Amino acid sequence: MFYLKKLLVFLLIQFAITSTIYMPPEERVDTCSTINVVYIENPSLENICSFLASLYVDLISNYGCIRESPVAESNKCYTSTNLLAEYVLRNLCNNTQLADKVRDFLKEYNTDFYNYYQILLGRNFTLPFTIVKNTKRDIVNDIEIYHTVRTATGLYDYDQYADLLAYSALYYVTQRDLNNAVIELVRLNDLFDNYGFRDKAYSKLGKYETYKVALAVIAFKTINHTSLVDKYTNILLNIKPLTTLYILDESRGRLIGIGDLNVETACLIAIALYSDIPYGIQPSTQLNKVDLDTVISHIHGAYILLITILVLTIIVLALVAIILALLLRSLRRLVRSLQRV
């Protein structure tokens, strides 16, 4: 009987824990830092704002930071994503109280580089891309504080990553170099498989990354390509629940979020859907759908032409090699005939 009671107590505890984890997030949204919201069911601005507020933690009495995620990185604050969070809290959520505390945190842990998405907030970067890494800057009240820094190691395969193609396109837009911007966007769109970006990171993770879809929305908004904006926005709206990573449930044809949601993803979604940032960095000469589709056609045509030229060149070289071999054989026979004479 004693063991039966212990078993019942254990099962009740497990049930309580499970119920807490899987309770619908909207029922657990709180503007304080005492309750964690693991994910959100839909990317409404209210849900995103509540989610960010739930991740806030005081470091000292004057300031605090937004923890990167409720589960995977619950004890880490990145200055890079707090830069995004400060903007979203202040300008989209109108939560100036938390925004001011995060701003003071960023002043205390000032850095010259945040991440490539700093371009969205008017902080440009230089090309070529280099690998970035996170370095621990401090530990306060068991919260680890990290800076994102660039290394000297070049990223020469950047065109195999959807996020870097989006950042590259945004860079060229800010430089008014529309030709290169469109080329990068064509490459970005080519990585999309109708469900998400199947880039080099996908090959390693086996999962789609939500923030890359948000970046696509931002990038195509800058050139006013409404149909592609709608396509990628629709992907965001169909990831249920909304998390950092998601997969395709082929049996039901649904996009299923897995794990938790992090600050970077939440902020980029908010900027993509509710901010005027993309319109603020639009080039003076905007492109429309017809223009981009024409460029895509030309680029694909150029690729086909290049491949055709290469194939023809190989064929010509092969024919030249055969002719030379035949001539050499004939010369050898002639030499042997002369020697016999």
pLDDT single digits (tens) 213-267? 999 999 999 999 999 999 999 999 999 999 999 999 999 889 999 999 999 999 9
Question: Contact, 228 vs 268, CB < 8 A?
Answer: no
Q: Over pLDDT 90: what percentage of the chain?
A: 67
How many residues are listed for the chain in this entry? Answer: 341
Buried/exposed code over 6-33 (b: 16+ C-beta within 10 A; e: otherwise): eeeeeeeeeeeeeeeeeeebeeebeeeb
Nearest to 177 by CA among 222, 121, 232: 222
First to last CA, the chain: 116
Compute the mean pLDDT over every residue in the chain, rounded to the nearest whole number: 84
pLDDT tier at 3, thresholds 50, 70, 90: very low
Residue 70 has pLDDT above 90, yes or no: yes
Question: Structure tokens of 99?
Answer: 């925004």
pLDDT at 203: 86
Phi, psi of 164 (to 5 degrees): -70, -35
Q: E-strand spans in 155-252? A: 208-209, 239-240, 245-249
Question: What distance in Å separates the CA atoms of residue 274 and residue 277, rounded to the nearest whole number?
Answer: 9
Residue 202 has pLDDT above 90, yes or no: yes
Question: Structure tokens of 202?
Answer: 């996908």
Residue 135 has pLDDT above 80, yes or no: yes
Alpha helices in the chain (DSSP H): 2-22, 45-54, 79-87, 96-108, 162-174, 178-190, 200-205, 210-222, 226-237, 263-274, 277-280, 289-340
Question: What distance in Å separates the CA atoms of residue 223 and residue 182, rounded to the nearest whole number?
Answer: 9
pLDDT at 315: 82
Question: What distance in Å separates the CA atoms of residue 164 and residue 197, rounded to the nearest whole number?
Answer: 12
Average pLDDT of 128-135? Answer: 97
Question: Structure tokens of 341?
Answer: 């004479």
pLDDT at 303: 55
Question: What distance in Å separates the CA atoms of residue 129 and residue 162, rounded to the nearest whole number?
Answer: 13
Q: Where are the domains of the chain?
A: 2-287, 296-341
Q: In what order do the strands lie in the sheet with 254-258?
A: 208-209, 245-249, 254-258, 239-240
Question: Structure tokens of 91?
Answer: 């300008």
pLDDT tier at 330, thresholds 50, 70, 90: confident
Beta bridge partners of 65: 57
pLDDT at 319: 78
pLDDT tier at 177, thresholds 50, 70, 90: very high
Question: What distance in Å separates the CA atoms of residue 307 and residue 303, rounded to the nearest whole number?
Answer: 6
Residue 13 has pLDDT above 70, yes or no: no
Least confident of 15-24, 44-53, 197-206: 15-24
Phi, psi of 223 (to 5 degrees): -110, 10
Residue 308 has pLDDT above 90, yes or no: no
pLDDT at 257: 96
At residue 151, what is the residue type?
T
Question: Structure tokens of 262?
Answer: 């992090």
Question: Contact, 262 vs 242, CB < 8 A?
Answer: no
Question: Contact, 170 vs 218, CB < 8 A?
Answer: yes
Question: What distance in Å separates the CA atoms of residue 166 and residue 211, rounded to the nearest whole number?
Answer: 11
Question: What distance in Å separates the CA atoms of residue 208 and residue 245, rounded to the nearest whole number?
Answer: 6
Higher pLDDT, 150 or 9: 150
Question: Contact, 74 vs 67, CB < 8 A?
Answer: yes
